[in-house]
C-alpha cells in the first residue's frame, strides 16, 4: 500500500486491531505483532517499539488485562479483553463498519 | 546463549517504575527479542545476523523508555531520568550554561548587554539620562570631598537647570578653572532661564575665545525668534536681522575677530570621563550620550552672519571698488571658518567648511581679477581640501549604514538573550528541585522538559550578541576625544537608541504588544493541542513502522 495513504488509514485504528485480535482469546505481544502482519498478508505491520507501550496504555485504561501464564516452558504475559474492553471493541467496530461502508459506497461506484 | 533480560535491562535503565512492574516490562521485552532471534535463526540467518535483526526491532531505546513510562504512568519520564541530548544529566548542557555565565566575565559582553538599557534621550534638559538620584548621590559625595570636578559633572548633566546652576556655582567657587561649565547655561531655554549672567561670566573669564560671543548672539537670537514665524523669513531678511541688530551683530563681530575658537569639548570630555571612571562606569554609550549634550553655538546665526559679511558687506565694498578691503573681509570670514572647523563636533566642522566655502566663492574670482594668480592657486588647493572634508563626511555615512546593520543584529540578539535567560532560569528553577525530588511535581517536570533547550540556545544567542557587538568593544580610556568616540561607536549607539525609541514611541511596541500576547497565547494553545493530539495518536493510532 502507498505510504501516505497507508499512514492515513492506519491512524486511529491500532486500538481496534489489538482489541479485535484479543476478542477470540488471550495472546502475548509477540503473537499479536505476528498476527497483524499475517492476517493483513504483510500489508499492515506493527513497529514493535510502539506495540508494547500501546498494550500498557490499554491495560492502564482497563480495556485489557495482562497476566503471566506458562507457555513453551517459560512464562509469558498474555493479554485478554476486560468487560470494558469488549464494550469499547463493539463501539469501535461499529464506527469502523460505518466508515468503511461509507468509503465503499464512494469508491465502488461505477458509471452507468 | 544470550541473556536477553540483561540486554533489555542495560538499555532500558533507569526506568523509574515500581520494581515489580519494571521487571515485568523487562521480561516481556526480552521475550520479544528472544522470539525474534529464534525466528531469524530458523529462517536460516547466522547467529550474528539473527542477533542484529532481533535488536533492530528497538532501534531507539531512549524513546522506548519514555514511551513505556508514559504508557504505564500517564506522565512524562522524570527529567533527571532522561538521557536525550538536552537532558540535565548531560554535562555539555551544564557546560553551555557555565560558558554563558563565563561570557559575563568579559567586559565587552557586559557592554553588549547594556544595549538594552541605553538612554532614550540625550539632552541635558531631558529627564532620565542620568537619574537625579544618581546625580544627588554624586553631589553629596563631591560636597563632602570638595570635589569640584564631580560638582561640575552634576552641573553639566542635572536635568533641573536650577539644581545644575547651584552645583555649578559650588564647582566654580572651588576651582575657577572650571568656569567653562557656564556654557551649559548659555542657551535661552527654558524660557524662564536668564543666560546673560552666565555668558557675561564666561566672556570675562575667556575673553579671547569666540565661543562665548557666539553663545551670546545665539541666546539673543533664540529669545528674539521664540514663538515668532521667523522660519518663514527669507534669507535676505535673516541676514539683515543678524547683521544689523546690535544684540546679535556686536557679539558676532567679536566672535569673528577673536583669536581662538574653543567649545570646551576637550575639557568636558576629560571631566566626564574622570567622573565615569571614579564611579566605575565603563560605558562608552553613556559617555557618548553625555557628550552629545555639549552646547554648540546657534549655527544658523553663525552661518547667516558669515553670509551677511560676504554677500552684503563684501559685495557692497567690491562695488565701491575697494577690492583690497573686500578681500580682507573675505579672509577674516575664512579664517573664522578655519578656527571653527578645528572644533571637535562634526556639525561645527561642517559649518566651518561651509563658512570657508561662502568666503572662497567671492575671494577666488576677486584674486583672479586682481591678477594675484599664485594666491588664487593656493586658494584652489584649499577648496580641494574642503571637498575632501565633505567626502570624509560621506565615508562617515557609510559607517553609519554598517553600524545600522550591526545595531539591528545586536538588538535582536540582546532581546533573544533576555528571553532565553528567563527561560534558562525557569529551567534551573524546575530542574534543581527535581534533582532532590524527582517525582515532586509533574508541572515542574513538564517545564524542565520543555525548557531544556534554553541553556544551549542561550549560549548561541550570547555568542551571536558578542560577535555582533565585537567590532565596537572599547574601554572609555581608549578614546582620545569626544569626536573619536562619536565617530567610532556613535553610529551604532545612535541607531540602537533610535531603534528602541521608534519601538517605544512611534507605535511599534504599543501596536505589537497585544498581537505579541495573542501570538504567545495561540502558540501555547497550539502546543497544548499538539501534545494532546500526539498523546491521542499514542493512545489510539496505529504505530508507524
- B123 in a domain, yes or no? no
Question: Which domains are delineated in chain A?
Answer: 3-107 (1.10.10.10)
Q: What is the pLDDT of residue A2?
A: 44
pLDDT tens digits for range B66-115: 899 999 988 888 888 888 888 898 999 999 999 999 999 998 999 888 87
Domain with B342 in it: 210-261+298-371
Q: Exposure of B446 by Cβ count < 10 A (0-12 exposed, 13-18 middle, 19+ buried)?
A: middle
Residues of chain B contacting A52 with CB distance shorter than 8 Å: 25, 28-29, 32, 64, 68, 71
Tell whether B108 and B66 lie within a shared domain: no
Question: Contacts of residue B72 in chain A, CB cutoff 8 Å?
Answer: 56, 60
Residues B308 and B437 in one domain: no
Q: What is the pLDDT of residues B265-319, one digit of tens each?
A: 999 999 999 999 998 888 888 888 888 888 888 888 999 999 999 988 998 898 8
**B379 touches B337 (CB < 8 A):** no
**Does the structure show a pLDDT above 80 at B370?**
yes
- Cβ atoms of B128 and B120 closer than 8 Å: yes
User: Which residues lie across from A81 on neighbouring strands?
Assistant: A64
State the DSSP code for A74: E
In a domain, B256, yes or no: yes
B-chain CB neighbours of A29 within 8 Å are 28, 31-32
The whole-number pLDDT of residue B283 equals 86
Cα(B356)–Cα(B483) distance, integer angstroms: 21
Q: What number is the average pLDDT over the span A30-56?
A: 87
Determine the pLDDT at residue B512. Answer: 53
The answer to whether residue B530 sits within a structural domain is yes
Task: Give SS3 for A70.
Answer: strand
Backbone phi, then psi, for B194, in 5-degree steps?
-105, 110
Q: Is residue B162 part of a domain?
A: no
Terminal-residue alpha carbon distance, chain A = 29
Residues B531, B407 within the same domain: yes
Whether residues B487 and B420 fall in one domain: yes
Q: Are residues B338 and B411 in the same domain?
A: no
B218-271 residue pLDDT tens: 988 887 776 566 666 788 888 888 888 899 999 999 999 999 999 999 999 999
Phi, psi values for residue B440, rounded to 5°: -60, -50
B323 and B410 assigned to the same domain = no
What is the structure's pLDDT at B294? 82
Compute, in degrees rounded to 10, the torsion defined by CA atoms A51, A11, B83, B87.
-160
Helical axes B235-244 vs B210-225, angle rounded to 10°: 120
Spatial distance between the Cα atoms of B499 and A90, rounded to a whole number of angstroms: 64
Is residue B214 within 8 A of residue B248, CB to CB? The reply is no
Average pLDDT score over residue span B324-351: 87
List, in sequence order, the alpha helices (H) in B245-295: 246-257, 265-279, 284-292
Same domain, B356 and B313: yes
Say whether A28 sits in a helix, a strand or coil: strand
| Pair (B478, B521) in one structural domain | yes
| One domain, residues B252 and B328 | yes
**H or E stretch including A65?**
strand A64-71
Residues of B in Cβ contact (< 8 Å) with A28:
28, 31
Left, alpha or beta for B86 (phi > 0: left; psi -120 to 50: alpha)? Answer: alpha
pLDDT, one tens digit per residue, over B442-500 is: 788 888 888 888 999 999 999 999 999 998 888 999 998 888 888 888 888 878 877 76
Which helix (H) or strand (E) is A68 found in, with range?
Answer: strand A64-71
**Residue for cell digits 529464534?**
B38
For residue B190, being part of any structural domain is answered with no
Among B326, B350, B371, the domain boundary falls at B371
Q: Does B135 fall in a domain?
A: no
Q: Which of residues 1-30 of A touch B (CB under 8 A)?
A: 7, 10-15, 17, 28-30
Asked if residue B51 and residue B16 are part of one domain, the reply reads yes
Of A11, A28, A74, the CB nearest to B542: A11
Q: Is residue B89 part of a domain?
A: no
CB B496 within 8 A of CB B115: yes
Pick from B133-142, B330-339, B400-409: least confident: B400-409
B23-80 pLDDT, tens per residue?
999 999 999 999 999 999 999 999 999 999 999 988 889 889 989 999 998 888 888 8
What was the pLDDT predicted at B281?
A: 86
Question: Which of B315, B349, B371 finishes a domain?
Answer: B371
What average pLDDT score do residues A39-55 get? 85
- Overall domain count for chain B: 3
Q: What's the rounded Cα separation, in Å, for the pair B376 and B533?
A: 86
Same domain, B310 and B426: no
Interface confidence (ipTM) of the complex: 0.88
Model confidence over A54-107: pLDDT tens digits? 999 999 999 999 999 998 788 999 999 999 999 999 999 999 999 889 988 888
Let me know whether B52 and B106 are in one domain: no
Please give the grid coordinates belonging to residue B351: 559649518
Residue B32 domain flag: yes
A29, A30, A46 ranked by CB distance to B543: nearest: A46
Amino acid at each position: 500500500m502507498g505510504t501516505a495513504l497507508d499512514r492515513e488509514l492506519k491512524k486511529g485504528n491500532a486500538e481496534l486491531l489489538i482489541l479485535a485480535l484479543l476478542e477470540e482469546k488471550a495472546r502475548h505481544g509477540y503473537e499479536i505483532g505476528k498476527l497483524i502482519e499475517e492476517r493483513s498478508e504483510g500489508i499492515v505491520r506493527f513497529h514493535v517499539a510502539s506495540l508494547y507501550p500501546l498494550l500498557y496504555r490499554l491495560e492502564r485504561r482497563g480495556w485489557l488485562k495482562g497476566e503471566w501464564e506458562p507457555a513453551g516452558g517459560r512464562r509469558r504475559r498474555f493479554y485478554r479483553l476486560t468487560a470494558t474492553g469488549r464494550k469499547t471493541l463493539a463501539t469501535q467496530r461499529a464506527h469502523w463498519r460505518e466508515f468503511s461502508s461509507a468509503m465503499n459506497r464512494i469508491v465502488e461506484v461505477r458509471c452507468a | 546463549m544470550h541473556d536477553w533480560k540483561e540486554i533489555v535491562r542495560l538499555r532500558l535503565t533507569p526506568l523509574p517504575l515500581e520494581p515489580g512492574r519494571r521487571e515485568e516490562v523487562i521480561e516481556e521485552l526480552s521475550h520479544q527479542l528472544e522470539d525474534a532471534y529464534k525466528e531469524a535463526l530458523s529462517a536460516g540467518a547466522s547467529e550474528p545476523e539473527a542477533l542484529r535483526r532481533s535488536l533492530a526491532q528497538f532501534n531507539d531505546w531512549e524513546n522506548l523508555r519514555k514511551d513505556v513510562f508514559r504508557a504505564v504512568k500517564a506522565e512524562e519520564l522524570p527529567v533527571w531520568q532522561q538521557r536525550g541530548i538536552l537532558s540535565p544529566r548531560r554535562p555539555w548542557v551544564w557546560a553551555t550554561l557555565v560558558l554563558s555565565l563565563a561570557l559575563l566575565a568579559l567586559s565587552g559582553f557586559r557592554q553588549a548587554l547594556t544595549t538594552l538599557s541605553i538612554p532614550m534621550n540625550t539632552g541635558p534638559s531631558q529627564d532620565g539620562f542620568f537619574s537625579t538620584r544618581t546625580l544627588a548621590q554624586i553631589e553629596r559625595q563631591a560636597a563632602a570631598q570638595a570635589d569640584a570636578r564631580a560638582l561640575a559633572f552634576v552641573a553639566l548633566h542635572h536635568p533641573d537647570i536650577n539644581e545644575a546652576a547651584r552645583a555649578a556655582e559650588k564647582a566654580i567657587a572651588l576651582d575657577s578653572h572650571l568656569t567653562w561649565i557656564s556654557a551649559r547655561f548659555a542657551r535661552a531655554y527654558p524660557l524662564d532661564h536668564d543666560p546673560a549672567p552666565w555668558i557675561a561670566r564666561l566672556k570675562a573669564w575667556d575673553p579671547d575665545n569666540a565661543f562665548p560671543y557666539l553663545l551670546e548672539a545665539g541666546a539673543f537670537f533664540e529669545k528674539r525668534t521664540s514663538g515668532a514665524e521667523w522660519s518663514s523669513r527669507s534669507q535676505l531678511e535673516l541676514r539683515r536681522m543678524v547683521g544689523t541688530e546690535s544684540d546679535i551683530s556686536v557679539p558676532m563681530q567679536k566672535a569673528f575677530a577673536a583669536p581662538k575658537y574653543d567649545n570646551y569639548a576637550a575639557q568636558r570630555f576629560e571631566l566626564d570621563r574622570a567622573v565615569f571612571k571614579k564611579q566605575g562606569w565603563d560605558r562608552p554609550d553613556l559617555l557618548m550620550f553625555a557628550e552629545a549634550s555639549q552646547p554648540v553655538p546657534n549655527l544658523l546665526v553663525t552661518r547667516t552672519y558669515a553670509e551677511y559679511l560676504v554677500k552684503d558687506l563684501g559685495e557692497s565694498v567690491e562695488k565701491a571698488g575697494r577690492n583690497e578691503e573686500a578681500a580682507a573681509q573675505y579672509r577674516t570670514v575664512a579664517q573664522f571658518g578655519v578656527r571653527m572647523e578645528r572644533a571637535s563636533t562634526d556639525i561645527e566642522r561642517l559649518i566651518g567648511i561651509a563658512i570657508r566655502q561662502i568666503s572662497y566663492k567671492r575671494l577666488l574670482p576677486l584674486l583672479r581679477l586682481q591678477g594675484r594668480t599664485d594666491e588664487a592657486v593656493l586658494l584652489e588647493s584649499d577648496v580641494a581640501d574642503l571637498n575632501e572634508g565633505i567626502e570624509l563626511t560621506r565615508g562617515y555615512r557609510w559607517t553609519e549604514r554598517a553600524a545600522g546593520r550591526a545595531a539591528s543584529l545586536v538588538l535582536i540578539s540582546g532581546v533573544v538573550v533576555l528571553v532565553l535567560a528567563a527561560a534558562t532560569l525557569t529551567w534551573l528553577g524546575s530542574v534543581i528541585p527535581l534533582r532532590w525530588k524527582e517525582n515532586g511535581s509533574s508541572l515542574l517536570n513538564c517545564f524542565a522538559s520543555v525548557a531544556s533547550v534554553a541553556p544551549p540556545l542561550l549560549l548561541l544567542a550570547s555568542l551571536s550578541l558578542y560577535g555582533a557587538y565585537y567590532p565596537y568593544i572599547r574601554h572609555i580610556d581608549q578614546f582620545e576625544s569626544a569626536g573619536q568616540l562619536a565617530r567610532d561607536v556613535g553610529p551604532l549607539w545612535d541607531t540602537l537608541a533610535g531603534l528602541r525609541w521608534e519601538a517605544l514611541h512611534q507605535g511599534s511596541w504599543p501596536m505589537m504588544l497585544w498581537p505579541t500576547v495573542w501570538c504567545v497565547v495561540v502558540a501555547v494553545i497550539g502546543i497544548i493541542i499538539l501534545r494532546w493530539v500526539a498523546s491521542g495518536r499514542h493512545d489510539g493510532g496505529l504505530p508507524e513502522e
